[in-house]
Structure 1
């Protein structure tokens, strides 16, 4: 799913992973309505993936676990 926004104030506030390298090879996330958008910052042409907040929380907790 590719997120498209026409109004500048509606653009997602992307956040880079704290585990990312300085070479631009990273994953970014942004809260979007009732989901979390995920993108690969080195190749924006592949679009974004959006998952529900509860699924994102479950995955992050499982990875920490």
Structure 2
């Protein structure tokens, strides 16, 4: 059973981080208005997570401090 998809995800332009190079274990991110969508590169059909701008910024701030 496939998870429901938001139609905005079908229109989104997902991109991989340049840091992932050719590694398979990475995620793809797409800008949404407002916020971002994130999905697994190898398992795109399993669904997409979305975060509003504040949630995404909190994640980025935490990741930078780690």
Q: What's the RMSD between the two structures over aligned residues? A: 2.0
Structure 1 stretches of 5 or more lacking a match?
none
Query: How far 1:23 moved relative to its partner?
Result: 4.1
**Residue equivalent to 2:15:** 15
Structure 2 stretches of 5 or more lacking a match?
none
Count the aligned residue pairs.
Answer: 61
Provide TM-score, normalisation by structure 1. 0.75
Query: How far 1:21 moved relative to its partner?
Result: 4.5
Q: Moved runs in structure 1, 4+ residues, more than 6 A?
A: none
Provide TM-score, normalisation by structure 2. 0.75
